[in-house]
Amino acid sequence: MLTKRGCDELEDNRKKLAKLSREEYRSVVAERLKTIAELHDLDTKFFAEKCGISTRRMKNLMNGTANLRIPEMLDISDAFNVGIEFIMGCYPYPLPMPKDETEAAVYELVGKMDMDELKEFKDRLGEKLKETES
């Protein structure tokens, strides 16, 4: 469940995206895919493999020359636990959609981090998860 402000922001972003040309929208999606790959330290080949998409197709998606198909978007979302709203450019954070106000507040803090801080946060979180599983 999103907060009222979060819902308003999501709706505003959707309206802005609806006005983009096909090429501009492809560029938005390409940047989002690059962000996910970079966040996970994956080159195009390994990113594509993890998503079940051919390397050539992924290169086209990441350079903005191809339209992302819904099944591909869902595969990427599942592979990296990222909301489709992020991939489409509607939501600013490369995370699943928040379920409540606490998650929304955490996401807002995460959203203020630069890419290096995000990577460090991801690594520390992964270490904590491994500790709790042991």
All structural domains of the chain: 4-133 (1.10.260.40)
- Who wins on pLDDT, 7 or 3? 7
Neighbours of 133 (CB within 10 A): 6
Interval 93-118: pLDDT, tens: 787 777 888 888 887 888 788 888 88
DSSP, collapsed to helix, strand or coil, labels residue 2 as coil
Q: Is 76 helix (H, G, I), strand (E, B) or coil?
A: helix
Q: Provide the pLDDT confidence category of residue 2 given band limits of 50, 70 and 90.
A: very low
Give the predicted TM-score (pTM) of the model.
0.71
Q: What is the mean pLDDT of the chain?
A: 87
Whether residue 75 has pLDDT greater than 60: yes
CB 47 within 8 A of CB 40: yes
